Amino acid sequence: MQNRTAVAALVTCAAILTATGCSSSFGGDKKTAQDSSSKQHLTVLIASSGDAETRAVKEAAAAYAKKSGNTVTVDVAKDINQQLAQSFAGHKPPDAFYVDSSQFANYAKGGSLYAYGDQIKDADDFSAQLRASFTYNGKLVCLPKDTSTLALAINTDLWMKAGLTAKDYPTTWAQLKTLAARLTKGNVTGLVINGEYARVGVFMREAGGWITNADQTQMTAHSAQNAEALAYVQSLLKSGSLKYANQVDTNWGGEALGKGKAAMTIEGNWLTGGMKADYPNVKYSVVPLPAGPSGKGTLAFSQCWGVAQDSTHRTAAVDLVRHLTSATQQLKNADAFGVMPSRTSALGEYAKKNPSAKAWADATAYAQGPVTVAGFDKVLNQFNTDLAKLGTSDPKRILADLQRNGDQALTKGD
């Protein structure tokens, strides 16, 4: 799941494109016979964050079934990327399924996704940034099921023990550096994050840089802004006031925060569910990320509801997705397992009901979406490997390698 470990070991582009046959009929009708009966059986595959999410999706599917007369079976994948690749290869995919942004372009290029965006009358209720993440060849392919952003989470007890108050929340890089050093003492590290681009990348964005240009046609990795960002993170690592989660024997920033090993971490709104389940007695506050040289910045994450090109129930599957992405259902999901709605109208209601999540909700206005280029998952996996060694490596060399690898992926991804 992208939430806690944003880029894991994913199915490679080559494997997926082989599995999907590199179809050139993306978004078109591959003449799959369609079921026109009044009662159809739909299959859904999800990658769940836990029992709460599974229960919420199954309840939503059951409500749709009662309303429509169709039946729906929801299955939870053990490895959704692998299972989808296999099902596409065998031309027996689920009718609807989660699609992670890191794999979206691979599936779209392979012709495995049915582009239904033009059938959604109120698609503009989803932010332009989210729609862009799931657009391929100019077509909105699938609707984002929810959204997440990153903010700074602070262990309140450790903060107070250091003699700090809400007036001391950092708003600049310089303040973050000073406070991280002040809070580093004994077994406590001032700032703990996952050593991956989906956390370190916020500093690149705040410095005014990013991995590609806005329309993802050119690499911009080797910019001076990105070099400044990585040099800043490296300085924190070398000082010991910043450590990666695995360096303090934890799996992610939320665990480090909950166990009192981190005074601060950078995490998304899924932190709420994780802390409630695993560390219910730990008090914490969530504030906007400190601004960098170029101003505010954060990263946005999402998955979409894909509909299979090979499905024999495409019309019914799109109807199901309309139900699953309705404002009402998104607000129910937010209550059930902590995700933020991807609909702008529902996000406003969510923010009112969840004032503690204000920093995450407000950040959607300036969040940077992920890179969605076919084959780019391999590039980001290598970037993560390099970032794991940032404390002792040359930032400019890391970015040069990212630039080179990305250029190759962009060329192949056309």
The per-residue pLDDT for range 24-38, each reduced to its tens digit, is: 334 444 578 898 888
Return the domain boundaries, the chain: 33-147+302-368, 149-300+373-413
How much is the mean pLDDT over the chain? 91
Outline where 21-79 has alpha helix (H). 51-68
Q: Name the β-bridge partners of 41.
A: 71
Helices 197-206 and 376-387 cross at an angle (nearest 10°) of 90
Q: Which residues, including other chains, have CB under 8 Å from residue 155's CB and lie 6 or more apart?
A: 257, 260, 262, 263, 264, 282, 283, 284
Q: Token pair of 330, please?
A: 């998104």
Through-space distance between the first and last CA atoms of the chain, rounded to whole angstroms: 27
Give domain 33-147+302-368's CATH architecture.
3-Layer(aba) Sandwich (3.40)
> Structure pTM?
0.87
The per-residue pLDDT for range 149-160, each reduced to its tens digit, is: 999 999 999 999
Outline where 279-392 has alpha helix (H). 314-324, 327-337, 344-353, 358-363, 376-387
CA-only gyration radius of the chain, Å = 21
Q: How is the beta sheet containing 96-100 ordered, strand by strand? A: 71-76, 41-46, 96-100, 303-307, 143-144
Contact 376, 337 (CB under 8 A): no
Number of helical (H) and strand (E) elements in the chain, helices listed first: 17, 14
The per-residue pLDDT for range 146-199, each reduced to its tens digit, is: 999 999 999 999 999 999 999 999 999 999 999 999 999 999 999 999 999 999
206 DSSP assignment:
H
149-300+373-413, which class in CATH?
alpha beta
**149-300+373-413 shares the fold of 33-147+302-368:** yes
Residue 350 CA to residue 348 CA, distance in Å, equals: 5
Contact 339, 272 (CB under 8 A): no
Contact 272, 355 (CB under 8 A): no
The per-residue pLDDT for range 270-287, each reduced to its tens digit, is: 898 889 889 999 999 999
Residue 143 CA to residue 376 CA, distance in Å, equals: 21
